[in-house]
């Protein structure tokens, strides 16, 4: 999976939004797959027009968070990949400091997403922040 700086650089290189949308879809194809049993109500992100699931794995050896996710919509799956690029590998306290919407604004997505997708994006970020808070408290 690409890291966020690589995604940002690729967005700067692609001037046409059709190309950027294709790139977002390609990012979605890089997600680690979820098992069928992981697509459940506990993993489902509420507030998304499309179905979105996020699963937090155990902290890695250095205490970093690791999420996996999926969606039933290609563009949204790509948005999941971008969000995970911002958070995966960070320790919970660092994850809570991430200004995800600010970082993603650099990509210009906020101007090119429907209100429903923007709301879903915020719901994903809030879910990850909630999971980071739980991990930090544990």
Tokens for 94? Answer: 């660092």
Provide φ and ψ at 71, rounded to 5°: -150, 160
Nearest to 133 by CA among 38, 68, 65, 43: 65
Q: Known catalytic residues?
A: 48
| Confidence class for position 89, pLDDT limits 50, 70, 90 | very high
- For 69-80, how does the pLDDT look when each residue is reduced to its tens digit (9 = 90+)? 999 999 999 999
Domains and CATH numbers, the chain: 4-137 (3.90.1010.10)
- For 102-115, how does the pLDDT look when each residue is reduced to its tens digit (9 = 90+)? 999 999 987 888 88
- State yes or no: pLDDT of 10 exceeds 80: yes
In angstroms, the CA 86 to CA 136 distance is 17
Nearest to 101 by CA among 76, 116, 81, 118: 118
Residues 123, 47 contacting (CB under 8 angstroms): yes
Q: Look up the pTM and report it.
A: 0.94
Contact residues for 68 (Cβ-Cβ < 8 A; gap 6+): 31, 32, 33, 34, 38, 54, 55, 57, 84
Residues 121, 83 contacting (CB under 8 angstroms): yes
State the pLDDT at residue 48.
83
Tokens for 129? Answer: 């922040």
Contact residues for 115 (Cβ-Cβ < 8 A; gap 6+): none
Tokens for 133? Answer: 């808070």
- State yes or no: pLDDT of 90 exceeds 90: yes
């Amino acid at each position: 999976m690409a890291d966020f700086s690589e995604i940002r650089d690729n967005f700067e290189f692609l001037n046409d939004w059709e190309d950027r949308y294709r790139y977002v879809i390609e990012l979605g194809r890089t997600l680690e797959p979820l098992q069928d049993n992981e697509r459940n109500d506990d993993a489902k992100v509420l507030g998304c027009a499309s179905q979105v699931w996020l699963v937090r794995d155990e902290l890695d050896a250095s205490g970093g968070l690791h999420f996996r996710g999926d969606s039933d919509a290609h563009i949204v799956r790509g948005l999941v990949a971008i969000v995970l690029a911002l958070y995966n590998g960070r320790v919970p306290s660092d994850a809570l400091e991430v200004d995800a919407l600010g970082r993603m604004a650099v990509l210009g997505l906020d101007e090119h997403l429907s209100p429903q997708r923007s709301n879903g994006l915020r719901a994903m970020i809030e879910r990850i922040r909630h999971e980071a808070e739980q991990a930090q408290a544990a």
